[in-house]
Amino acid sequence: MQSMRIEIVTDEEALATRAADIVCDLVAANPKAVLGLPTGATPVGAYFELKLRSDSGRADFSGVTAFAIDEFSGARRGDAGTNSAFFRQHLRLPLRAIHVPNPAAENADEHIRAYAAAIRRAGGLELCLLGIGANGHIAFNEPGAGRDSRARLVILTQETREQHAPAFSSIARVPARGVTLGIADLLEARALLVLASGAQKAGAVGRAIEGEATDNVPASWLREHGDVTWLLDEAAASALGERARLAAT
């Protein structure tokens, strides 16, 4: 556990501020940083905070390159609910570039492997932000994804499709598949920052940090990383045992 940091903040708002602090510190030190970014409700506040700092000149993202860590497969780029639509709406930063996998790629498996190769060619991810699903998924690595899994086409669980139904306007419209960086790809990022907020994440956070490392909880593999920070609000940290809480800052 030495390489794992746990930071617990009061609420969602404090989480957004702290996440933005971490990203801005990194970008100040490395203006050409390459970042991996997730979608989901959790990072929206942090992305908004980054925009405020950029707009007011407190942070400069003009040299930063971002790579989305996953996307649906079987949709058109920009369709409501897709990750490309999400980033257009929520990541309003003047970045050097933002890359999102193509949800319409004909050979999705080949496409996402080439996408992962492009990340490596760009020098790899300096920092990868992650969310966590209530079932312990990270990016679209659903339960069953192994430590050595690589970028690939995946079948989404019903639970994950339900989570995304509102954005697609109905469950029937949520693609059955997605493309994702694999766990081994995510573990190659130089640093990982996992964000979790709300009581609905407490169980998954507890299992990922304190349970056994298992494919059933893909986020549990993150402990194999040498530089991982779990940034949690009180509600998301509520299932952690005393040992983890004592180790937290």
Report the catalytic residues: 70, 135, 137, 142
Closest alpha carbon to 51 in 21, 90, 4, 80: 90
For ligand GLP, the closer CB: 38 or 103: 38
What 3-state class would DSSP assign to 138?
strand
Residue type, 214: T
- Total residue count of the chain as it appears in this document: 249
Shortest CB 174 distance to ligand GLP, Å: 10
Report how far Cα 228 is from the mean position of its chain's Cα atoms.
Answer: 13
**Separation of CA 60 from chain center:** 22
Q: How far apart are CA 114 and CA 24, in angstroms?
A: 29
Q: Which of 16, 42, 66, 161 binds ligand GLP (CB under 6 A)?
A: 42
**DSSP state for residue 141 in the 8-state scheme:** B
Which of 160, 182, 187, 231 contacts ligand GLP by CB under 6 A? 160
- Site for ligand GLP contains 219 (CB under 6 A): no
The residue among 95 and 139 lying less far from ligand GLP, judged by its C-beta, is 139
By CB under 6 A, the count of residues binding ligand GLP is 13
Bridge partners, 141 (sequence order):
138
Interface region with ligand GLP, contact rule CB under 6 A, candidates 14-22, 35-43, 48-56, 184-192: 35-43
- Among 133, 136, 175, 206, the residue binding ligand GLP under the rule CB under 6 A is 133
Binding footprint of ligand GLP on the chain (CB under 6 A): 38-42, 70, 131-133, 139-140, 160, 163
